[in-house]
Amino acid sequence: MSVFERLLSIREEKGAGFFLLLDPDRIDRGQLIKTAETAEACGVDAVLAGSSFITGHDFDARMTDIKGATDLPVIIFPGNAGQVSRHADGILFMSLISGRNPTYLIEEQVKAAPAVKTFGLETIPTGYMLIESGTVTSVQYISGTMPIPRGKNDIAMAHALAAQYLGMKMIYLEAGSGSDRGVPEEMVAAVSGYVELPVVVGGGIRKPQQAADRVSAGASFIVVGTAVEESCDEGFLTEMSDAVHTAARTTV
């Protein structure tokens, strides 16, 4: 079974999946390993690893740590072509389709492609869409792109549909790490109801109810990173996971 098929089976079985995003640059090695080790017991369905901006030069080593600490699918969430490692099960091969900066639409992907092939990584083509969150996030600053306005559901829907027609496999609605506000529930509902692709929602989700609300709105997968980094609490991680899975069962 491919990684993507495994994600779809998680959605089929549980109604929605809960992904933990680990930033190798912001968590010390000991905490990184501990969090990865306990993730499955806390109800996490898959681990994403990466960041829009990394200052360290040990990404491959940290990926080795994460992969060695868990049996969950480990998927790279790359901010650039430098975030590619053979020590992962797959990679979100993302294009920042909400922006018009060619670097993140295609250039970084071209740079990364040979390494992805060499390492034999499974690619999951993903339409990555930055949504206005109320603050300038790292991904907005680094990519030099304008987010889709929070109230413009029609613009988000059109971008997601274009991604579907281009053959992408998932839509990722991103408010940005550490953002003040998450992706609006109304936008999640509009996009998920308009396209046939699984919708991933991340950024600004700090409370279990916020995660549950976005699942109820139609999200297939919820991503939480900063909130877990700030709490370093296994109980909190379990609460987040329970909220996602409970909301999915209720919605179904």
- Residue-wise pLDDT tens digits, 53-95: 888 789 999 999 999 999 999 999 999 999 999 999 999 999 9
User: Who contacts 222 (Cβ-Cβ below 8 Å, separation ≥6)?
Assistant: 16, 17, 18, 19, 200, 201, 202, 205, 211, 214, 215, 240, 244
pLDDT band for position 252 (cuts 50, 70, 90): low
Q: Are 130 and 140 spatial neighbours (Cβ–Cβ below 8 Å)?
A: yes
CATH class of 3-126+200-251: alpha beta
Q: What is the 3-state secondary structure (H, E, C) of 149-197?
A: CCCCHHHHHHHHHHHHHCCCCEEEEECCCCCCCCCCHHHHHHHHHHCCC
| DSSP 8-state class, residue 132 | -
User: Who contacts 99 (Cβ-Cβ below 8 Å, separation ≥6)?
Assistant: 105, 130, 143, 144, 145, 146
Q: Does the pLDDT at position 232 exceed 80?
A: no
Mean pLDDT of the chain: 95
Q: What percent of the chain has pLDDT over 70?
A: 99
Helices (H), the chain: 3-14, 29-39, 59-69, 102, 108-119, 138-143, 153-165, 185-194, 208-216, 226-231, 234-251
| DSSP 8-state class, residue 204 | S
Please give the Cα distance from 191 to 120 (Å, whole number): 32
